[in-house]
Amino acid sequence: MTAAAARLGRDRAVPALLLAPAAIVAVAVLVVPFWLMAWTALTDLSYADPDRSGRFVGIANFARLATDDVFGASLLRTTAFAVAATALELVAGFGLALLLVHAVQRRRWLLTALLVPMMLAPVAVGLMWRLLLQGDFGVVTWMLRASGLLARDAAIFSNASLVMPVLVAIDVWQWTPFVTLILLAALLGLPRAPFEAATMDGAGPWRRFVDVTLPLLRPVLALVVLLRLIDAFKEFDKVWILTGGGPGDASELLSLYAYRVSFQRWDLGYGAAVAVAIYGAVLVLCTVLHRLARSR
Amino acid sequence: MRVAEWWPRAPRRAGVVAALLCVFQVPQVLAWTLEEAAKPYAGTTLRTIGEALPPLEAMKALAPAFTKRTGIKVEIEMYEHSEAVNKVMLDLNGKRRRYDFILQPHRELGKFVANGHLTPIDGFMNDPKLRDPAFVPEQALYPALWKEISWYGGKPYGFPFTALTMYAWYRADLLADPKEQAGFRAKYGRALAPARNWQEYRDLAEWFHRPDKGLYGTALQGKRHEALWYEWLNFLYSFGGDVLKVSSGSQCGPVIVNSPAAVESLDYYRSLLKFAPPDSLNYFWDDVMALMQQGRVFELIMWNDSTYAVSEDRKASTVAGRMAFDMLPAGKGGKVGQVEGWSYLIPAAAKNREAAWLFVQWMMEYRQQLAQHLGGGASARPDVYAAPEVRKLPYSKASMQTNEVARPKATLPQSGEMTDILVRELSAALAGEKTSKAALDRAAKDIGTLLGKCAPLEYPVQ
C-alpha cells in the first residue's frame, strides 16, 4: 500500500469513526423502533387477548383501518386541526416577525417574552389552560362570560362545537412565537440588493413584499409550515389533558386514538397500524410541501 | 354413663375429628409467628405500585412496622390511576419483574390471569410455613366482595386492597334548614329528606339548583374518562340493567347493555345535566370532589375513598361535618351499588413472592386494616366497620350497606376495551351527539363484535 492510499484510508476512517456514535444512536432510537412498529402493525399482537400472541396477519390491520369509522373521523379532524393551526400560526407569526424586524435591535426583551409559551412543556400548557378555562372558576371563562362572548350556562370544554376552535387557538398561542422566531431570523438575513433594485424600479412596499420578500422566504416558509404541520398532526399532550378526546368524539385526534387502542385496549397490532397511518399521512404532507417549495 | 353411650355415632366421629384438629391446630396457631416465617427473607426489599390515594399513603405509613418485625423493606411507587395500570401492564408483558406485588383494579384481573401473569394464592394459603393460621379470609372478609374483587375463574388471586363503592352524598345542613324544608314541602308536597327513589333524587337536585347563588343541584362526572363509566354503572344497575347477562365478572354472556332499562337509565342520567355545573362534560372524580369540598353542590354520587377528604378533613373541606351519606336511591333493580376493588396481586414472575405474601397477609390483619381504613382506606373486613371509631364516621353505614349489595362487573380480558367503548358512547350521548338508544346500540354492537360468539346481542341492533 502506498503512503497516499494509507492517508486516504485514514482520511475516510476518521470522519466515519466520529460519526459512528451518532449514527448508532440514531439507528437505535429511530430506525429500530420504527421497524419494530411497522412489523407489529403486520401482526395480531394483543396484551389483552392471550390467543393473539403476535401472529403475522399481513395487511389485515390496515384493511381494518379502512372500515373503522372512528379512525376515519379522527383522521379528518386531525387534518383540519393541523391545517387550521398551521395556517393561523403562519399568518400571525409572519405578521409579528414583520413588526419586529425593525424593532428587534432595541426590543430584545419583547422577543424573549414572546418565546415563553413555546418553552413551556405541553403538559404544563394543558394544565394551565385547563385552569384558565375551567367552567366554574376559570379566569378566562369568567372574562368571556362577563363580556357576553360566552353564555352563563355554557362551558368551553363541555361544548362539542367550541372545543376544537379553542384547541386550535391554544396551539396558535403556544406555537406562533416559533414561527415568528424563524421568520424573523430569515427576514434579518435577506440580502439588501434585491430590495434596493425593486425600489429603484418604483416598487412600493406591497410589491416589494409580494415580489421580493415572499419569493426569497419561500424555502423558509415551506420549512416552517412543514415543521408545524408535522407537530400539529402529532398533537397529544395538551388535548389529552384538556378534553381526553371529548365531549363525545369532538376532539378525538389520531394520536389520542392510537394511544387509546395501544395502551387502554392493549390491541398493539392495530395500534401500531394507526401509528403507521399517522406516519404515512405526515409523509404525504411532507412530500407535497417539498414539491410545492421546489416548484416555481 | 360413659360418653360413648350418650354421644351419637356420627357427631361422635365429627367431634373426634374436631378434637384432633384442635390438638394439632392450636399449637400451630400458637407456634406460627411472622418473625419466624419471615426469617429466610430478612434483608429483602419488596417493591410495589399503586394509585396515589390515601389508602396507599396509609399503607406506606404502616410498612415500617412490618420492616421492624421482619427485616423486609417495602418500597412503594405511587402513580395516577391510568399510569399505575399501564406501568404494571408493560412490566408484566415486558417481563421486567420490577414488582414483587402489585395493586390493581379488579377489572384488570382477567387480562392478567389469561396471560399467566399472576400466582394464585392458594399455594401460599396451603403452606404452613407462610400461612398465618389466625387469618381465615373466608371468615374475615366479606365473602362476595373478596370473590368479586380478587377471584377469577373460581380461583383466588389476592385480597382486596380497597373495597371501593359509590353511594349518595348529601348536604345534611341544607336538608335540616327549616326554610328549605318549608319551601320544599310547598312545592313538592312532601318532607325534605334524602331520596328514596330516582324521582326524589331529581326533585332534590332541581330544588337546590341555584347557579346564580353558586349552588348546583348535583354534579356529574361527564368527562370522556373511566369516571363516566363508573358513575353511570350505578344508574344502570339501579334501573335494572347490566352490560352482560352473567352471574360473575369472569363470565362471558349475552350483551344487554342496550336493553330498555339501560336506555332508560342513560336518559335519566342525561336529564340530571340540567341541574349540574355547565362544565360537567369536562369533570371527573377530582373535579366533583373539589366542588363538593367548596360547598357548591347539594348532592352527588361518589366514591367511598374520597369521603374522608370531604366529610372529615376540615383543612381541605368547607363542608366537613355537614355531610350525610346513604345508599343509592332504589330503582327497578332494587337497592344496589357498583363496587370496584383494588387487589393485592402477586405476579407469577415476581422475585420475592413469599416475602410479598407475608406482607400482604400482614396488611390484611385487623389492626392494619383498621389503621388503613381510618387513614382513608376502604376495608373489605366487616369487623373493621364494627369498630367504634369507624362506626362514628358518618359514611360507614352507607359504605357497609353498599358492600353487601355489590354487583359484579366484567373482569374479562377484554374488559378494558369494553370500558373504552362504553365511555366513548356515553360521552357522545351526554354531548348530545347521539340519543341514548343510538349510543347504547352502538356500544352493544361493538362489545358483541369484541367478545365474539359468547356474547350475542339480546336486543338486536337494526
For B114-173, what is each residue's pLDDT tens digit? 889 999 999 999 999 999 999 999 999 988 889 888 999 889 999 999 988 899 999 999
Minimal Cα–Cα distance from A185 to chain B, Å? 41
Contact (CB, 8 A) for A237 and A123: yes
Task: Work out the minimum CA distance from A244 to partner chain B, whole angstroms.
Answer: 6
**Cβ contact A248–B416 (<8 Å):** no
Contacts with A260 (C-beta within 8 Å, 6 or more apart), sequence order: A245, B420
Contact B256, B267 (CB under 8 A): no
B31-164+340-401 under CATH 3.30.9.10, yes or no: no
Q: Residue A214: inside a domain, yes or no?
A: yes
pLDDT at B9: 46
Q: Does A131 touch chain B (CB under 8 A)?
A: no
- Of B97, B106, B118, B35, nearest to B71 by C-alpha is B35
A245 touches chain B (CB under 8 A): yes
Which cell numbers in the block locate residue A137?
372558576
Does A69 touch chain B if contact means CB atoms closer than 8 Å?
no
CA distance A60 to A227: 32
Q: Which of A158, A249, A267 sits opposite B282 (nearest CB)?
A: A158
The answer to whether the beta carbons of residues B335 and B327 sit under 8 Å apart is yes
pLDDT in tens, B421-444: 999 999 999 999 999 999 999 999
Amino acid A105: pLDDT: 63
**A202 phi, psi to nearest 5 deg:** 95, 10
Give the chain A residue nearest B422 (alpha carbons): A248
- Of B440, B450, B445, B376, the closest CA to residue B415 belongs to B450
Closest CA to B157 of B408, B356, B453, B371: B356
Q: How confident is the model at residue A106 (pLDDT cuts 50, 70, 90)?
A: low
Closest residue in A to B112 (Cα) is: A48
What pLDDT, on the 0 to 100 scale, is given for residue B2? 39
- Long-range contacts, B74-77 (Cβ 8 Å, 24+): B74/B45, B74/B46, B74/B47, B74/B48, B74/B359, B75/B45, B75/B46, B75/B47, B75/B48, B76/B47, B76/B48, B76/B49, B76/B50, B77/B47, B77/B48, B77/B49, B77/B50
- What part of A 149-178 touches B (C-beta under 8 Å)? 152-155, 157-160
CA angle, residues B385, B387, B389, in degrees to nearest 5: 105
- Chain A segment 186-215 residues within 8 A of B by beta carbon are none
Supply φ then ψ for residue B215, to 5 degrees: -120, 130
| Preferred mutation among A49, A142, A152, A158 to probe B, highest tally of B CBs within 10 A | A158
Domain ranges of chain B: 31-164+340-401, 165-339+411-454
Q: Quick one: how far is CA B220 from the chain centroid?
A: 19
CB B343 within 8 A of CB B88: no
Within 10 angstroms of residue B74's Cβ, the number of other Cβ atoms is 23
Q: Select from B21, B64, B41, B69 the least CA-distant residue to B130.
A: B41
Average model confidence (pLDDT) for chain B?
A: 90
CB pairs < 8 Å spanning A and B: 104
Mean pLDDT score, A233-239:
93
Q: What gap in Å lies between CA B152 and CA A89, rounded to an integer?
A: 53
A134 touches chain B (CB under 8 A): yes
Determine the straight-line distance between the first and last CA of chain B, rounded to whole angstroms: 80
Q: How confident is the model at residue A68 (pLDDT cuts 50, 70, 90)?
A: very high
Helices B198-208 and B260-271: angle between axes, nearest 10 degrees: 10
pLDDT at residue number B288: 94
Please provide the size of chain B in residues.
Answer: 462
The mean pLDDT of A145-157, rounded to a whole number, is 90
Higher per-residue confidence, A2 vs B163: B163
Give the orientation angle of helix A32-40 with respect to helix A268-294, to 10 degrees.
Answer: 120
Q: Checking DSSP bridges between strand B406-407 and strand B337-345, what pairing results, if any?
A: parallel
First to last CA, chain A: 51
Q: Is the pLDDT of residue B95 over 70?
A: yes
Instruction: Give the C-alpha separation, A126 to A241, whole Å.
Output: 6
Give residue B323's pLDDT. 94
- Over 90: is that where the pLDDT of A76 sits? yes
Instruction: Place B22 in a pLDDT band, splitting at 50, 70 and 90.
Output: very low
Contact at CB, B433 and A243, closer than 8 angstroms: no
Asked if the structure places residue A5 within a domain, the reply is no
User: Among residues of chain B, what percentage have pLDDT more than 70?
Assistant: 94
Element (H, E) at B363: helix B353-363
Q: pLDDT (tens digit, 9 = 90+) per residue, B204-214?
A: 999 999 999 99
| Contact (Cβ atoms closer than 8 angstroms) between residue B142 and residue B372 | no
Q: Return the SS3 of B73.
A: strand
- List Cα–Cα distances, B115 to A53, A92, B345, in angstroms: 10, 53, 14
Percent of the residues in chain A that have a pLDDT greater than 90, as a whole number? 62
The amino acid sitting at A51 is D
Distance of CA B400 to the CA centre of its chain: 12
**Per-residue confidence band for A1, with pLDDT thresholds at 50, 70 and 90:** low
**Do strands B323-326 and B158-171 pair parallel, antiparallel, or not at all (unpaired)?**
antiparallel
**Does A155 sit within 8 Å of B277, measured CB to CB?**
yes
A114: containing domain: 69-294
Cα dihedral A118, A123, A125, A127 in deg (nearest 10): -170
The number of CA neighbours under 13 Å toward the Cβ of B104 is: 28
Task: Tally the C-alpha atoms within 13 A of residue B245's C-alpha that lie toward its C-beta.
Answer: 13
Name the band, by pLDDT with cuts 50, 70 and 90, for residue B23.
very low
Binned at pLDDT 50, 70 and 90, residue B246 comes out as very high
- Write down the pLDDT at residue B312: 84
pLDDT at A30 over 80: yes
- CATH number at A189 reads 1.10.3720.10
- Cα–Cα distances (Å) from B18 to B8, B11, B22, B26, in that order, read 15, 10, 6, 11
Domain count along chain A: 1
- Which residues sit opposite B197 in a β-bridge? B330
Question: Which stretch of A135-144, B3-12, B386-395 has the lowest confidence by average pLDDT?
Answer: B3-12
pLDDT of residue B107: 86
Q: Between 3.90.1150.10, 3.40.50.10890, 3.40.50.300, 3.40.190.10, what CATH number should domain B165-339+411-454 receive?
A: 3.40.190.10
H helices present in B212-330, as ranges: 226-238, 260-271, 285-293, 307-311
A112 contacts: CB under 8 Å, gap ≥ 6: none
Q: Which of A49-63, A105-119, A200-214, B221-235 has the highest mean pLDDT?
A: B221-235
Asked if omega into A247 is within 30° of 0 (cis), the reply is: yes
- Minimal CA–CA distance to B396: which of B381, B411, B415? B381
CA distance A107 to A184: 13
Q: Which of B147, B156, B159 is nearest to B361 (CA)?
A: B159
> Do A247 and B413 make contact, defined as CB atoms within 8 angstroms?
no
**Predicted confidence band of residue A102 (pLDDT cuts 50, 70, 90):** confident
Stretch A139-155: mean pLDDT, rounded? 91
pLDDT over threshold 90, residue A285: no
